[in-house]
């Protein structure tokens, strides 16, 4: 059995929950909590949102009014971002950052909103280090190497 990635986010005090996971076809799928009917439904029409590397780690964040960012490793072992902007999914600005640690994990955090939105994405780098990718003022502005 593969170690497929899974990540979740919520808003409105848990009324809206989204869970993202990888299936055998390498697609990343969405499950959405239907607060009205109190049940889980398949998001994105039951279709994959995108394709990722087998066993990709996933990280997801939410920022209002309805923006979701998913971070993952693509088939070429690069860190990528997929973004929901309230009306549909598209490839995000963070593209092509090579991940040199084969079994890397991912995590992400956000605060602020609008032009004050801050995002940080972290992944394991070479031995003894992790990499921090920095989003501020509407774009990705750099990365930092953090010794651990």
Q: Domains of the chain, with CATH numbers?
A: 6-147 (2.120.10.70)
55-96: pLDDT as tens digits: 999 999 998 888 999 999 999 989 999 999 989 999 999 876
Question: Do the strands 59-63 and 67-73 form a parallel or antiparallel pair, or are they unpaired?
Answer: antiparallel
pLDDT at 101: 63
Considering only residues 104 and 135, tell me which one the structure prediction assigns the higher pLDDT: 135
- Say if residues 89 and 82 touch (Cβ distance below 8 Å): yes
Percent of the chain whose pLDDT exceeds 90: 60
User: Sign of the C-alpha dihedral, residues 139, 74, 32, 61?
Assistant: negative
Pairwise CA distance, residues 121 & 141, whole Å: 12
pLDDT at 100: 67
Please give the average per-residue pLDDT across 104-123, as a whole number: 88
Half-sphere exposure of 45 (CA within 13 A, CB side): 5
Place of tokens 């087998």: 54
Which of 17-26, 68-77, 121-130, 132-141 is predicted least confidently? 121-130
CA distances in angstroms from 64 to 9, 16, 117, 141, 143, listed in the order given = 12, 12, 10, 21, 25
């Amino acid at each position: 059995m593969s170690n497929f990635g899974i990540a979740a986010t919520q808003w409105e005090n848990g009324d809206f929950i989204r869970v993202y996971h990888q299936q055998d076809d390498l697609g990343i799928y969405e499950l959405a909590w239907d607060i009205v009917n109190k049940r889980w439904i398949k998001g994105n029409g039951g279709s994959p949102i995108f394709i990722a590397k087998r066993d990709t780690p996933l990280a997801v964040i939410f920022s209002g009014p309805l923006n979701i960012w998913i971070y993952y490793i693509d088939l070429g072992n690069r860190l990528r971002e997929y973004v929901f902007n309230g009306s549909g999914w598209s490839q995000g600005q963070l593209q092509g950052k090579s991940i040199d640690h084969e079994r890397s994990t991912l995590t992400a955090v956000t605060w602020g909103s609008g032009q004050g939105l801050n995002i940080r994405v972290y992944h394991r780098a070479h031995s003894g280090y992790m990499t921090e990718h920095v989003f501020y003022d509407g774009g990705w502005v750099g990365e930092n190497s953090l010794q651990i």
